[in-house]
Amino acid sequence: MRQYNIVATYSLLITMTFLQEVVDILLAYITESFDRETKVIDFHYPNELLQRNNWELQDEPETLDDILISCRATLKYAIKTAHPRYFNQLSTGLDMVGLAADWLTSTANTNMFTYEVAPVFVLLEYVTLKKMREIIGWEDGRGDGIFSPGGAISNMYAMLLARFKMFPEVKEKGMSSVPRLAAFTSEHSHFSIKKGAAALGIGTESVICIKADESGKMIPADLERKILEAKQKGFVPFFVSATAGTTVYGAFDPLIAISDICKKYQVWFHVDGAWGGSLIMSRMHKWKLDGVERSVLKLTWNPHKMMAVPLQCSALLVREEGLMQNCNQMHACYLFQQDKHYDLSYDTGDKALQCGRHVDIFKLWLMWRAKGTIGFEAQIDKCLELSEYLYNKIKDREGYEMVFNGKPQHTNVCFWYLPPGMRYMEDKEEKKKRLHKVAPVIKARMMEYGTTMVSYQPQGDKVNFFRMVISNPAATFEDIDFLIEEIERLGQDL
Amino acid sequence: MRQYNIVATYSLLITMTFLQEVVDILLAYITESFDRETKVIDFHYPNELLQRNNWELQDEPETLDDILISCRATLKYAIKTAHPRYFNQLSTGLDMVGLAADWLTSTANTNMFTYEVAPVFVLLEYVTLKKMREIIGWEDGRGDGIFSPGGAISNMYAMLLARFKMFPEVKEKGMSSVPRLAAFTSEHSHFSIKKGAAALGIGTESVICIKADESGKMIPADLERKILEAKQKGFVPFFVSATAGTTVYGAFDPLIAISDICKKYQVWFHVDGAWGGSLIMSRMHKWKLDGVERSVLKLTWNPHKMMAVPLQCSALLVREEGLMQNCNQMHACYLFQQDKHYDLSYDTGDKALQCGRHVDIFKLWLMWRAKGTIGFEAQIDKCLELSEYLYNKIKDREGYEMVFNGKPQHTNVCFWYLPPGMRYMEDKEEKKKRLHKVAPVIKARMMEYGTTMVSYQPQGDKVNFFRMVISNPAATFEDIDFLIEEIERLGQDL
């Protein structure tokens, strides 16, 4: 019985044996995850799951064999996000090079704040951000950027930088030195814009929602009207966040028209491309982001979504060099000593909101090396092809109704499934009420059977509908066929 | 030659072989890291390192063999944070159970925002936060909390919650609806308090620095005086952040006296225990945190520091249930559907500032199971014992001068090393000037030889001194002896 040595590290032999045993468990889990015969999830309700295993923390140590048992139990009840039929979130799939890179990152166990403690990772962040800026089309790839803990924080950074750029005194004096600000974003945009405004002391009421058209794109004329209205009320418009790939519809706001308005009224133009930004890597689809190069200030782009980089990997790209540093630096002299023997511009910590910062860069960098730009392109194109296949398959199929007309711009396919008993109901209100309950029941059954998972939600006055998204490179046409069959199998009696 | 399949996932055989090859590289790196004969770092200046390898991103894919070469190159130039002689940061060491847990986390590749996609991890966060609250001494472990991307963000949350608790209208209306606020923290506190105030629109000028005594502890009388002063100037004091374990001196602010003042003036009392919070797990040292149970609102506690959990692992503990949810929720209906079939209180995403949130809990939970509470205690006690050994060894040794008197309260030992040629200098100013340059030169030499690493910095009017910290469970008395010998070897000619 191998007791864990609670103070010192273990003998090397025991360490190596234990780690290899864990790896064997992980490799078996990966094999299972890619097997369509395996369940996506072995679902249990929270109280039930709490009782199915001993999860409590004790005073006394456990043996290493017990630890292996805990690892197996954790994976037994985990969701298989790599499964080719897991479509529940914008981040799905498991790339083996990305995974290997994440294992290496954990083993290197360091921190992005200084070159001193993360020399290679800091350089790779520099190289990768530059490459991303070149792809956007900023001259010579010039500018700045950072990998942050997710798109919501990246968007918050963007708002923070816009405010500082317009009113640098806000850093010292706070919002009391600044006029009442107004930010603008579409009614379909991500909730992180409002969340950021609440945190930054701007307030959610200062986030003005711009109308979207039927397919979810921001209406530029409404933006201009609302900017003028805000000015009349004495607000200072400082920030427009356009969305490239909305969360639910996958819509791309018209960036050129929006940037023209921003220029006219001197408002900072940000693009939230957390979900759709990756399409810029596809020669076939990048026109949807036309105008992104005009984002005067910054762009959020999450490789952990459409590029299937393991979680978390979110980039904020900033056009102006030095802006992040000026906005966030506090000159902590215990960390950013000015008399170090190397080029201090590689100490990136003082431009971040965080102090310690997790290494998120290596998995993206290594995947990029393995796939090349053309590999990411092929992967993205394939996901869009699958979603077009789904759209074509259901748009005229009996029992389906599309939430918006026309081919989706991203992989989001939004639709209602109407069980046979509801298809010819005459009472529109009653039908709507019943339809609202269909998706939640089918979803619950999917999870109980564990066969597949797809998301649903209401939007505005539209009752619950399915939002199918595809970002998993392992998915195939047959998996799309399966999803449709499964929805019909699980929903026909409703 | 195995070309990376750029679109679909690989055949299982190739996947398994490749992952095993990466694991072999990682296991060899771990073996090296624990070997004292190996260098802590193979240091190169940034421009030189950029040229020593091809780090560029290309259009075309590489072979898997090239990818393995990149992994080896990355590790060759990485810093060995697990090395028993790496003392450079507050987070050091590599726990094998923590590492295994991090590998499992990467493999599970999911997101903390809902129970639906992270059932086990959400439950383990619940179990662990409750245990941490019980240890603090909050009744029945009641309260709330979250794991956030580091102590700086945890501190920002704390300030955000305090502001919301006092002025809930700030969420909608922003800072213009709120009087001018004042926050208080010691001059030795972490820079994240000011950084948070800048971001939240409070402004750095509203963070009032309280004087610290000679050993770095906040002086309660100065706090009371400054609160009264701020009130007289029309500010509303809303937040006091006491530090349990300051970054440089490792000082513990007198929490009981501070909490009494907070109570008297009705100011929210936060404890930043990012560095020192873990001492609460030691029966021998927890008295240093007496009064922490009075933190009315919240506590930052980073297990990735003194508990040697792999980066990142930072907890914010909050006393009032529901406060985080009320402060941060935005009701995104695409994620937090109200008609799900399970208990929605386990969907933790809407109380976070982030949307997607990395799984940071599993490594702490698994280490806790492996070590037991007594294992963490033993590990912490051992690090403190080592630092006491260092302190006793140098306090009267020729050529050393302590930065503050008395036994350090945490593992921070702050000292100057005076090379022989400087010890009897009479010109005090000249001596100070020369002493200021000693630590940077020794540090640069340490990195060039790669034998050890320790941090240095100035503080207030004190010129550059070494700040030795010990959080690596692999360090021994001999490593402390080595550090002293090495400083003398590298610095004697200065």
The SS3 of residue B401 is: strand
d(CA B91, CA A197): 33
Give chain A's mean pLDDT: 94
Q: Do B137 and B323 meet the contact criterion of CB atoms below 8 Å apart?
A: no
pLDDT greater than 50 at residue A186: yes
Contact residues, A window 471-490, toward B, CB-based 8 Å cutoff: 473-474
pLDDT greater than 70 at residue A9: no
Contact residues, B window 390-429, toward A, CB-based 8 Å cutoff: none
Beta strands in A286-425 (DSSP E): 298-301, 314-318, 400-402, 413-417
Contacts of A467 in chain B (CB under 8 A): 334
d(CA B157, CA B154): 5
Q: Do β-strands B236-243 and B181-186 pair in parallel, antiparallel, or remain unpaired?
A: parallel
CB contact under 8 A, B106 and A110: no
Q: Is B28 on the interface with A (CB under 8 A)?
A: no
Facing A195 at nearest CB: one of B330, B366, B372? B330
Residue B297: pLDDT band (50, 70, 90) is low
User: To the nearest whole angstrom, how far is the Cα of A66 from the nearest Cα of chain B?
Assistant: 8
Percent of chain A predicted with pLDDT > 90: 91
> What is the reported pLDDT for A8?
46
DSSP-assigned states of every residue in B285-343:
TGGGGTTGGG-SSEEEE-TTSTT-PPSP-EEEEESSTTHHHHHH----TTTS-TT-SS-
Contacts of A82 in chain B (CB under 8 A): 109
* Domain range for B298: 104-368
CB contact under 8 A, B356 and A311: yes
Residues in chain B: 494
User: To the nearest whole angstrom, how far is the Cα of B425 from the nearest Cα of chain A?
Assistant: 23
Q: How far is CA B265 from CA B68, B225, B237, B352, in A?
A: 61, 11, 8, 29
pLDDT digits (tens, 9 = 90+) for A123-133: 999 999 999 99
pLDDT greater than 50 at residue B6: no
Stretch B133-144: mean pLDDT: 93
Q: How far apart are the first and last CA of chain B?
A: 54
* Residue A220 placed within a domain: yes
CB contact under 8 A, B369 and A66: yes
- Which residues on neighbouring strands pair with residue A212, listed in sequence order? A218
> What is the reported pLDDT for B9?
56
d(CA B439, CA B443): 6
d(CA B490, CA B419): 10
Contacts of B44 in chain A (CB under 8 A): 119
CB contact under 8 A, B119 and A372: no
pLDDT digits (tens, 9 = 90+) for B159-205: 999 999 999 999 999 999 999 999 999 999 999 999 999 999 999 99
> Closest Cα partner for A104 from A313, A376, A361, A349?
A361
> What is the reported pLDDT for B239?
97
Q: Is A365 on the interface with B (CB under 8 A)?
A: yes
Residue A3: pLDDT band (50, 70, 90) is low
CB contact under 8 A, A106 and B346: no
pLDDT digits (tens, 9 = 90+) for A232-252: 999 999 999 999 999 999 999
ipTM (interface predicted TM): 0.96
> What is the reported pLDDT for B3?
53
Q: Is A31 on the interface with B (CB under 8 A)?
A: yes
* Residue B221 placed within a domain: yes
CB contact under 8 A, B111 and A88: no
* Residue A397 placed within a domain: no
- b/e per residue, A162-197, with b = 16+ CB within 10 A? bbbbbbeebbebbbbebebbbbbbbebbbbbbbbbb
Q: Do A216 and A404 meet the contact criterion of CB atoms below 8 Å apart?
A: yes
CB contact under 8 A, B172 and A205: yes
Q: Is B1 on the interface with A (CB under 8 A)?
A: no
Facing A356 at nearest CB: one of B70, B101, B312? B312
**Closest residue in chain A to residue B466, using alpha carbons only:** A334
Q: Is B378 on the interface with A (CB under 8 A)?
A: yes
**Closest residue in chain B to residue A334, using alpha carbons only:** B457
Cα A71 from chain centroid? 27
> Closest Cα partner for A466 from A390, A403, A423?
A403
pLDDT greater than 50 at residue B118: yes
CB contact under 8 A, B104 and A15: no
* Residue B479 placed within a domain: no
* Residue A363 placed within a domain: yes
* Residue B289 placed within a domain: yes
CB pairs under 8 A between A and B: 529
Q: Do B57 and A365 meet the contact criterion of CB atoms below 8 Å apart?
A: yes
Contacts of A330 in chain B (CB under 8 A): 191, 194-195, 198, 204
Q: Is B346 on the interface with A (CB under 8 A)?
A: yes
Contacts of A201 in chain B (CB under 8 A): 163, 170, 174-175, 200-202
CB contact under 8 A, A117 and B88: yes
Domain count, chain A: 1
State the alpha helices, DSSP H only, in A408-464. 428-449
Contact residues, B window 45-64, toward A, CB-based 8 Å cutoff: 45-47, 49-50, 55-62, 64
Residue A296: pLDDT band (50, 70, 90) is low
CB contact under 8 A, A353 and B8: no
pLDDT greater than 80 at residue A343: yes
H/E stretch holding B354: none
CB contact under 8 A, B330 and A194: yes
* CB neighbour list of residue B325: distance below 8 Å, 6 or more residues apart: B144, B350, B351
- b/e per residue, A273-292, with b = 16+ CB within 10 A? bbbbbbbbbbeebbebbebb
* Residue B77 placed within a domain: no
Cα A457 from chain centroid? 18
User: To the nearest whole angstrom, how far is the Cα of B7 from the nearest Cα of chain A?
Assistant: 5
> What is the reported pLDDT for B12?
86
Stretch B347-371: mean pLDDT: 94
d(CA B163, CA B144): 17
> Closest Cα partner for A78 from B403, B329, B124, B401?
B124
Contact residues, B window 220-249, toward A, CB-based 8 Å cutoff: 247-248
Cα A62 from chain centroid? 37
Contacts of A122 in chain B (CB under 8 A): 46
> What is the reported pLDDT for B299?
83
pLDDT digits (tens, 9 = 90+) for B319-331: 999 999 999 999 8
Q: Is A268 on the interface with B (CB under 8 A)?
A: no
The CA-CA-CA angle for residues B113, B118, B120, to 5°, reads 130
Stretch B395-399: mean pLDDT: 96
Cα B182 from chain centroid? 25
d(CA A361, CA B296): 38
Contacts of B106 in chain A (CB under 8 A): 99, 102-103, 106, 310
Facing B67 at nearest CB: one of A181, A366, A378? A366
CB contact under 8 A, B57 and A128: yes
Query: CATH number of the domain that B152 lies in?
Result: 3.40.640.10
* Residue B478 placed within a domain: no
CB contact under 8 A, B127 and A56: yes
**Closest residue in chain A to residue B87, using alpha carbons only:** A117
- Among A386-395, B6-15, B81-90, B468-477, the minimum mean pLDDT is found in B6-15
Facing A131 at nearest CB: one of B44, B57, B356? B57
Facing A337 at nearest CB: one of B81, B107, B457? B457
Facing A355 at nearest CB: one of B122, B152, B458? B152
Residue B335: pLDDT band (50, 70, 90) is confident
> What is the reported pLDDT for A272?
96
Q: Do β-strands A298-301 and A86-87 pair in parallel, antiparallel, or remain unpaired?
A: unpaired
